[in-house]
Chains A and B, each alone.
Chain A
């Protein structure tokens, strides 16, 4: 867990003082909305459909208990008692009043949290693997590097007015849990001999024009990383189109410039910039020292084994929600925020407090937020799991559905978002509730459904095994389905099945898809994605659009 320095604290305090004055001037009528809007966006404050929304960064998805408790305090004191964890590991508060926002930011700063660069055409919150520092398959914890990039990019004078927003993800594991290929820059840690570095993937992104990133450089050694990143973004800053917002992301720059030409320009700029940050390795070791890896005492697993044998509810949860820890006597716990019928990613203040308490009690004071909108306790001893599970159960936090059909990513959609063209939350709720009724989800197995309420794709629908996109077609909510998307190291973009479905048709359509899948899979181990990759669109299309098939289902 990273502990901020005095410099970080002073910086946050001065930023908040500045924003407080800007809010006062806006309320006093000394700033117009046009003048104020970019200032509030730089501090994460949006105006949504029904209220302001404050987006608070959770850098690389890591929180300690004090920070989680503070989020709960903010929800209670200034909001409506809940928050929404997003697909970029942030949290959004949906109801702050403008006058209260400077106080909220001061409260957050007490625990080193902030909303800087969670909006606007800047380098956004650096995201990472939510199992970082705990995963058995990891080369090294990517978060010190993510923190280095956060510090470099925060208030970077050259990159405050980029052509468009810029998203960076970092992973230290060959298993890609950070969707690196769908980011403006994705960094994958690689070891060459004794040297650590990164593969640099550029120009991925979802949204209106989904693209999978290209490897711009196969290996950048760690001491060169900031120089190389600076080279990529400065070239983009010059080339990126400012005439058309829809063509302004680096994926379009790469597409229009050509991969070879862009690579050459970046290399030329890199040659000029090399050595710009001679202190970066010292800064990195200073940061690494501030990431205190927990001391995990050796533990038994007798209690765990006994509980699994005796308690089928615990066993089902353990089978679904645990991931292998680098230590055999510990586990990574994913706490599902997707209870059947709940709003994906929402947590009440009471749930946040409980999670903070449990992290203190059982989890080395560490929590993570995943881009899949769940909360992770990364270091829990196997023998503490039965007690943890028992504490989660009454709080609605013990749903055994991680990675299953009801573990749905959904953006806020038209329930909140000013950009949305349709609702996504109630679609997610209805699908989860329906498959819970059918008692099928464990039989269906690994399946990722991702729902976006507009073309901007915050719900990552392009990389869902089943993606759902809500659109406004002639004043009616309409849902398009894509199949075969994948956000991991085997990234692929989903393919559209055909015409969309009305709001009341979408759940039955998903049901027909699933019936088709279970009918054609070779065995229960063949996942939906594997079946789709083997058979292609045909059986699913027939299930969706062929009247006979739909009658049979």
Chain B
């Protein structure tokens, strides 16, 4: 059996807003996981992470998160990453509810 396919994205929190952000192929940051670049080579991923960590005035706590190697668009493997992508289930209090 071939070794497990490798797929990760670089993610962290934006310094100013604290929001979850992902590193895109253009080297910019997006709040949408769908914009993230899927890194399929481990050495490349480490380099991208280092460059992300160097952007200390933009992003806090950058790290590599696993995504589904078989999916075309980035899809979290762990439920924690799914919650980071989706946000809390309950924060919208409808207008009028008091």
A residues sitting closer than 8 Å to B (CB atoms) are 26-29, 32-33, 47-52, 80-82, 94-99, 343, 346, 348, 350-351, 354, 394-396, 414-416, 423, 425-426, 429, 472, 475-477
Contacts and interface: CB of A to CB of B under 8 A. Distances in A.
Contacts of A351: 98
Interface in B41-98: 56-57, 60-61, 77-80, 83-84, 87-91, 93, 97-98
10 contacts: A26-B15, A47-B60, A80-B93, A81-B93, A82-B93, A98-B17, A346-B90, A348-B97, A396-B97, A475-B78
B98 A350 contact: yes
Nearest 4 interchain pairs by C-beta = A350-B98, A415-B88, A51-B18, A52-B18
A98 B13 contact: no
B75 to A, nearest CB: 14
A416 B56 CA distance: 23
Given A33-B61, A94-B88, A348-B97, 11 more contacts: A27-B57, A33-B60, A47-B60, A51-B17, A52-B18, A82-B91, A99-B16, A343-B90, A350-B97, A350-B98, A354-B98
B40 interface: no
Most buried by B among A50, A81, A395, A415: A50
Given A47-B61, A396-B98, A475-B77, A425 B90 contact: yes
A395 B19 CA distance: 31
Contact of A50 (B56, B78, B88): B88
A97 B16 contact: yes
Majority SS at the chain B contact face: loop
A425 B17 contact: no
Contacts of A472: 79-80
A514 B53 CA distance: 51
A87 to B, nearest CB: 18
Given A33-B61, A350-B98, A50 B77 contact: no
Nearest to B66: A475
Contacts of A98: 15-18
A97 B61 contact: no
Interface of B: 13, 15-20, 56-57, 60-61, 77-80, 83-84, 87-91, 93, 97-98
A80 B91 contact: yes
Nearest to A33: B60
A290 B61 CA distance: 45
B56 to A, nearest CB: 6
A29 B61 CA distance: 15
B76 to A, nearest CB: 11
A159 to B, nearest CB: 28
B93 A48 contact: no
A84 B87 CA distance: 16
Contacts of A48: 18
Contacts of A47: 13, 18, 60-61
B83 A49 contact: yes
Given A49-B83, A343-B90, A32 B17 contact: no
A50 B84 contact: yes
Contacts of A26: 15
B83 A94 contact: no
A29 B55 CA distance: 10
A46 to B, nearest CB: 9
A97 B18 contact: yes
B72 to A, nearest CB: 22
Given A97-B17, A348-B93, A475-B79, A50 B98 contact: no
Nearest to A53: B18
A215 to B, nearest CB: 41
B15 A27 contact: yes
Contact of B16 (A27, A29, A95): A27
A94 B91 contact: yes
Contacts of A354: 98
Contacts of A95: 18, 91
Contacts of B84: 49-50
A94 to B, nearest CB: 7
